[in-house]
Structure 1
Amino acid sequence: MSHDTLMNNYFNPNSVYTEKDFRCRFRMRRHVFKRLLHDVQHVNPYFQQKLDRAGRPGLSPHHKVTIALRMLAYASPADAMHDTYGISKSTRLDNLVEFCHTVVQLYKEEYLREPNQADMDWLICKAEDRGFSGMIWSLGCMHWQWKNCPT
């Protein structure tokens, strides 16, 4: 039942929540989530749906990825999501570990590495276009005057 709710809320055509809602709740665009889901399913069999010991379908791949992302995006403790997903704390922790290992395996060469000169040049250009010259050298941007800063 929770899989159907998740699908109706976020993934089915005419879903309850808009793309903007999705991005707010998942901290990424829907197409990025779908790419991530596709990639982890093809690399790690853990993210494929299986039957449980009673012969019922286990957690869906959408559920597994959603749970891991929610824990990471909101710094949710494992025992805080029992009411929402009805999954034990140990299963959620195992799921998170599998997800993190899979993401590192998949993307470490492309995204989880030291930036090269081309990356730095691109970042500097983007920052300067947005009025943040010198941003790379001052990652905190502490020299920038923030008009809405409360202090």
Structure 2
Amino acid sequence: MSASRSLLQRELDDSSSDDDDYLILSVAQIVETYSNAKGRHGGSVPGHKVIYRDREGGHERMFQDYLADDPTYGPHLFHRRYRMTRELFLYIMNVVESHDDYFVQKRSAANVLGLIFFPKVTAIFRMLTYGVPADATDEYIRIDESTAVESLRRFIAAVVDIFEDEYLRYPNEADTARLLALGEKNGFPGMLGSIDCMH
């Protein structure tokens, strides 16, 4: 996490855009909030009421909605709701699952089969994409707030570990040349680092 924070801090120091600062601060706050929550999760809570969520039925519905061969919501709606293609989503899901065994389905001490990664990662993307609170994901995704928060914290750590060297860094000369060529091809010569294409 310290490497991601230092990258965010360097970006804040170098950035001249208030919008960029806001976005970077938002990501930094998410990382810090869920990093500080580490160690607080787990164990029995006296007086805690267990809610039967029908996780298996919920997972089957979610799978049919988005991941089946003939899904209820096709590629266009998948992209709209997850803000990425299904192929990219599955790639990220698979590499994160193989990186951190927290996301691998296991049995609990009570021999209850735990969640698979798809509902966890769906809750994560809903929180990141739409800014919804963790407990707002429960009705459709069928996981409680503490699981959603812990999943988000571990997902962020895994993404930083896996993708930091390739994507969470300053662009090098090859990146700059590729981005300038891409901009020129699309009719925006010299356009680099301008998200709104106004500079």
TM-score by length of 2: 0.67
Amino acid in structure 2 at the alignment position of 1:81: T
Seen in structure 2, the aligned counterparts of structure 1 residues 138 and 37 have a Cα distance that, compared at 3 Å, is closer
Cα distance between partner residues in 1 of 2:193 and 2:145: 42
Determine helix, strand or coil for the equivalent of 1:136: coil
- The runs of at least 4 aligned residues of structure 1 exceeding 3 Å deviation read 137-140
Equivalent of residue 42 in structure 1, options 85, 90, 98: 98
User: Is residue 15 from structure 1 mapped to residue 71 from structure 2 by the alignment?
Assistant: yes
SS of alignment partner, residue 192 of structure 2: helix
- Tell me which residue corresponds to 1:30: 86
Write the deviation string for residues 14-56 of structure 1: whole angstroms up to 9, x where unpaired.
1111111111111111111111111111110001011234422
Note the C-alpha offset of 1:60.
1.0
Give yes or no for contact 2:126–2:137 (8 Å, CA) kept in 1.
no
Question: In angstroms, what is the RMSD of aligned CA positions?
Answer: 1.6
165, 185, 199: which is aligned to 1:129?
185
Looking at structure 2, the residues matched to 20 and 89 of structure 1 have their Cα atoms a distance apart, in angstroms, of 29
Greater mean deviation of Cα atoms: 21-30 or 125-134: 125-134
With over 3 angstroms needed to count, the CA separation of the structure-2 counterparts of 1:138 and 1:27, relative to structure 1, is closer
Shift of 1:113: 0.8
Percent of pairs with identical residues: 37
* Structure 2 unpaired stretches of 5+: 1-56
Find the partner of 2:132 among 76, 96, 107.
Answer: 76
Contact 2:58 2:141 in 1 (8 A): yes
In the TM superposition, residue 137 of structure 1 has moved relative to its aligned partner by 5.8
Match of 2:152 among 90, 93, 96: 96
CA gap 1:109/1:137 in 2 versus in 1, 3 angstroms: closer
For structure 1, the 5+ residue unaligned runs are 144-151
CA distance in 2, matches of 1:52, 1:137: 47
* Shift in Å, 1:6: 0.9
What is the count of residue pairs matched by the alignment? Answer: 143
1:93-121 alpha-carbon deviations (Å, 9 max, x no partner): 11100000001111111111110011011
Asked if 1:112 is matched to 2:168, the reply is yes
Which structure is higher in RCO with an 8 Å CA cutoff and minimum separation 6?
2
Cα distance in structure 2, aligned partners of 1:9 and 1:122: 37
Letter in 1 for 2:69: P
TM-score normalised per structure 1: 0.87
Q: How far apart are the structure 2 equivalents of 1:40 and 1:138?
A: 30
